[in-house]
């Protein structure tokens, strides 16, 4: 029973990374804002300090978690399903914290620096590349990964990222003064 729950948890962590990619790439970047996810994501790309309200995120997550948990319980067993759903929910929560931190607080660790650089490249450089916020795994698998040394930003984009003007962060960013 415990082994099934632990196995479900480990599978759920991996499953979360794929779900993150799927939510962001195919659903978040649907042309024309045809779904709520696409409209909310477009709004976030227009104002990178905008985040969907928490109740809206919960309203979207609950059915996804219920379907995943129900499917895992039917296909395997309840202990595996519980571990799987707990891991997906934990990964989703960690993603939300990291994503907001990238935009609002800025990096505080080597991982935060990597995540900020790769994600801001997605925002300011190539919106059809580097969809993974927590990991580049699925970007490698699906061929959407670009290696990022420095992110090129317009001078006016500095105002969109509150922590970016701090000189300790600028080594990863190139500021273009004219466009």
Residue 124: pLDDT over 70: yes
Extract the tokens encoding 103: 């935009």
Q: Are 124 and 152 in contact (CB under 8 A)?
A: yes
> 160 exposed, middle or buried (CB, 10 Å; 0-12, 13-18, 19+)?
middle
Domain borders along the chain are: 2-176
* 3-state class (DSSP) for residue 134: coil
Buried-exposed string 96-124: b where 16+ CB fall within 10 A, e elsewhere: bebbebbbeebbeeeeeeebbbbbbbbbb
Query: Model pTM?
Result: 0.88
In this prediction, residue 97 carries a pLDDT of 94
Closest CA to 85 of 21, 135, 137, 16: 16
Q: What is the mean pLDDT of the chain?
A: 88
> Is residue 117 very low, low, confident or very high in pLDDT (cuts 50, 70, 90)?
very high
Residue 12: pLDDT over 60: yes
Count CA atoms closer than 13 A to 37's CA, side-chain side. Answer: 14
Render pLDDT for 49-71 as a digit per residue (tens, 0 to 9): 899 999 988 888 888 878 877 77
Q: Looking at 88-97, 112-121, 166-175, which range is the least confident one?
A: 166-175
d(CA 59, CA 163): 31
**Percent of residues, the chain, with pLDDT higher than 70:** 98
């Amino acid at each position: 029973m415990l082994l099934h729950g632990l196995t479900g948890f480990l599978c759920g962590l991996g499953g979360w990374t794929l779900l993150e990619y799927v939510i962001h790439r195919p659903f978040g970047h649907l042309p024309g804002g045809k779904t709520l996810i696409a409209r909310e994501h477009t709004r976030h790309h227009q104002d990178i300090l905008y985040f969907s309200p928490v109740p809206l995120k919960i309203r979207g997550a609950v059915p996804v978690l219920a379907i995943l948990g129900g499917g895992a319980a039917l296909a395997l067993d309840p202990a595996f399903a519980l571990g799987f759903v707990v891991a997906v929910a934990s990964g989703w929560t960690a993603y939300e914290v990291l994503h907001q931190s990238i935009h609002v607080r800025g990096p505080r660790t080597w991982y935060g620096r990597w995540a900020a650089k790769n994600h801001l490249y997605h925002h300011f450089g190539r919106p059809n590349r580097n969809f993974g916020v927590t990991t580049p795994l699925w970007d490698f698998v699906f061929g959407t990964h670009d290696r990022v040394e420095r992110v090129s930003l317009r001078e006016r984009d500095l105002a969109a990222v509150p922590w970016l003007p701090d000189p300790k962060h600028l080594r990863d960013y190139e500021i273009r003064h004219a466009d």
